[in-house]
Structure 1
Amino acid sequence: MKLLVAIGGNALVSPEHESGGQIDQAKIEAVAASLVALEEEHSLIITHGNGPQVGWLAMQEIEANMSLDLLDAQSEGVIGYRLAQAMDNCRQRERSLSLLTRVVVDTDDPAFSHPAKPVGPVLDESRAQRLASQQGWQFAEVAGGRRRVVASPQPVRVVESAAISQLMSAGYSVICAGGGGIPVLEQQGQSRGISAVIDKDYTSALLAAELKLDVLLLLTNVEALYDNWNQPTARAVRLAGCESLRDRGFQQGSMGPKVEAACRFVRDGGGFAGIGRLTEAQAILEERRGTRIVTDNVPVTWW
C-alpha cells in the first residue's frame, strides 16, 4: 500500500528536552527503524511536526527576529536531513530523500487574526510579558505558565506534490511537509512566505488526498484515540466512522486536529486513517492496535 506517515514533533525529542525542542539522536534512530520496517511492505511518504523545534529556534533568533516561514524551513531541513540519514543508515541503502515543501495558504484565513497554535517552551509570566512587549509575540495560558501562540492557517495546496509523487514512484521514501510545510501566499503570479505554522496533520491529510494514497497514519505517543480522555469513563476507540465522532469534544490542542485530518482524508477518497503509537504502526494497519477511522457512518467500537 501507499502510506503517508505523520510523526508528531514530540516523538523526536527526549522527555527531559521536550520544552527546548532539541532533537534526540536515539529518538531519531528509533523512529527511523520503525519507518524502515514499514518499507518492507509499503511505499512511504513521511511528514513530521515541528512545534517544539520551531518555537525553540525562535527563542534563539530573538535578536534577528526571523519570520516563522524561515524558521519552518530551517527546522524542516534539519529534521528531514537527520531522519533521512538515520533511515539510510538503518537499512544500509540510500532510499530516503528530504524535500523542503511549500504549502499555499489563504491571506484571508481567520487564523491570522486569531493566533492559537502553541509553539516553543512554557515560559513564566514575567518573561512572557517581556517578549510580548519587545517582540509583539502573543501568549496563551497553559499548565505551568504561558506559551507562545502563532497563526495556523489551513493548507490550500502543496506546491511540490507532483515532485513528491514522482519521487515516490521512483522508489524513494520521501520526507516532506515538515511542520506542515513552509506557508506561502500566491498573489498576482508571485509567491512569498508568510509568518505562520501550519498544522502538520491538516497538511498531511491534504497531501495524502492529493496523491490518492491508500492510508493516512497519524502517529503519536498515545496508543489510540480515547473517548472521554482523562475521565474515569475513558475508553480507547477501535473503529469509528467520521459521523459517529462528531461533537465528541476532542481537544483542539491534541487529538482534535488528528480526528479532523483523518476525516478530511477519508472523505476525500482515502481508504482509512489510523491513529496510534509510532512503534505500533504495522499493528495499526492490521487493525490489532490503535484507532481506525473510516468515512462511512460506522458506529464507534472500543477496545
Structure 2
Amino acid sequence: MRTVIALGGNAIASDGDVTVAQQRARIGALADAVGELAERGDELLFTHGNGPQVGQLLLQQSRADAPERPLDVLVAETQAQIGYLVADQLESAVDGRVTTVVTRVRVDPADPAFEDPTKPIGPYYTESEAAEQSFETGPVTKPTGESAYRRLVPSPEPTAVLEIDEIRGLVADGVTVVCGGGGGVPVVGDGACEGVEAVVDKDHTSRLVASAVDADCLVMATHVEYAYRNFGTDDEEPIRETDAASLRRALEAGEFAAGSMRPKVAACLRFLDAGGDRAVITTPDSIAAAVDGDAGTQIRP
C-alpha cells in the first residue's frame, strides 16, 4: 500500500513551543507510530505544516537588525529545517533511505485569494501595534482566548507541484520522501518561476502529491481523532465511517470550520474524486490503526 501522511504543523510544534529538542521528540514519537507500517512493506510519503516555525522566524525577524527575508524564502527555510528533522528521526523507523525535497507549487496570479488575504501568520500585535505595520493585519483570538491582531497573507490554491517528477522517481526507487512542507513554496510563471508572498494550504498540496504518485490512502494527521458533526456543541458526534457523497453534503452545509477541518475534508474529497481509494482523518499516534481502518474518520469513494 502507498500512503501519503500529511502532518499538521502542531503535530510537530505548537505556537508556544518551537524548540528543536521538542520537535525531535514529537517526530520521534511519530516514527514509532508509523514504524509498523514500514515493517510490513507499506510505501510512505510525508508532507507537513510549518505554521509555528514560520511564525517563529517572522518574530525573530521583527526583533533583529537584519535584512528582511520574503515569505517564500521563509517557507523554503522551514521546509529544509523540518524536513531534516523528519528524515533524521524516520530513517531508523522505515529501515531505508529518507529524502527531503524542498518543494515549489505553482499558483495562479489571478487567484481571488490575492485580493482577499485571510491567512493569519507571524507574531501577535495589539491594535495600536497592528496599525503601525506596513502589511495588512486582522483580528484573531490567541490560544489563551485574548483578542489580538496578526499579519494576513493570501492563501491561493496550488495548481501543480513543480518537483513531482523527481518525487515520483524517488518513490519508484523505494525512497521514503518528505515533501510539500508548509504547502510548498508558492511561485508564479510557466517558465522562470518567481516566488510570491503567500502561504499555500498544505492539505491541498498533500492531495495533489497523493494523486500524482497514485497513493492508495491519504492520511490527515491533526489534533483531533475524528472529523465531527456539530463540533464544539452538546450534540458533537464523531464521524467514524462515511462516503464521499455524504461528507460532501455536510461540507456544503457548512458543517466544518474554515481554517481547521474544512480544508482537510475538502482535500480528502478531491483526492477521492481523482481516484484515491480511501482518505482518513486522525491523530498522529493513531496513524497505523487508521491506515488499517481501525481508527479515525474513514472516508471512501
TM-score (norm 1): 0.89
Q: Is the 8 A contact 1:53 1:120 kept in 2?
A: no
Q: Is the 8 A contact 2:34 2:288 kept in 1?
A: no
**1:39-54 equivalence runs, <5 A:** 39-41=38-40, 42-54=42-54
- Please tell me whether residue 170 in structure 1 is matched to residue 173 in structure 2: yes
Deviation, 1:186, is 1.3
- Please tell me whether residue 194 in structure 1 is matched to residue 200 in structure 2: no
Give per-residue Cα distances to partners, 1:41-85, cap 9 Å, x unaligned. 310110000111112212222353321110000000000001101
Counterpart secondary structure, 2:189: strand
Amino acid at match of 2:85: R
Task: Please give the alpha-carbon distance, in whole angstroms, between the structure 1 residues aligned to 2:26 and 2:288.
Answer: 18
**Equivalent residue for 2:263?**
257
**Equivalent residue for 1:183?**
186
Deviation, 1:115, is 1.0
Counterpart secondary structure, 1:263: helix
**Equivalent residue for 1:161?**
164
**Equivalent residue for 1:284?**
290
Q: Which sections of structure 2, spanning at least 5 residues, go unmatched?
A: none
Counterpart secondary structure, 1:69: helix
Q: Is the 8 A contact 1:22 1:53 kept in 2?
A: no
**Equivalent residue for 1:270?**
276
Deviation, 1:90, is 4.6
**Equivalent residue for 2:219?**
217
Deviation, 1:35, is 3.0
Identity of aligned residues (%): 38
**Equivalent residue for 1:300?**
none
How many residue pairs get matched?
A: 287
Counterpart secondary structure, 1:10: helix
- Please tell me whether residue 150 in structure 1 is matched to residue 153 in structure 2: yes
Task: Please give the alpha-carbon distance, in whole angstroms, between the structure 2 residues aligned to 1:56 and 1:147.
Answer: 13
Q: Is the 8 A contact 1:20 1:120 kept in 2?
A: no
Q: Which sections of structure 1, spanning at least 5 residues, go unmatched?
A: 296-303
Task: Please give the alpha-carbon distance, in whole angstroms, between the structure 2 residues aligned to 1:83 and 1:202.
Answer: 20
Q: Is the 8 A contact 2:51 2:121 kept in 1?
A: yes
**Equivalent residue for 1:128?**
130
Q: Is the 8 A contact 1:19 1:121 kept in 2?
A: no
Deviation, 1:172, is 1.0
CA RMSD of superposed structures (Å): 1.7
Q: Is the 8 A contact 2:38 2:93 kept in 1?
A: no
Q: Which stretch has the larger CA shift, 66-75 or 94-103?
A: 94-103
Deviation, 1:121, is 4.0
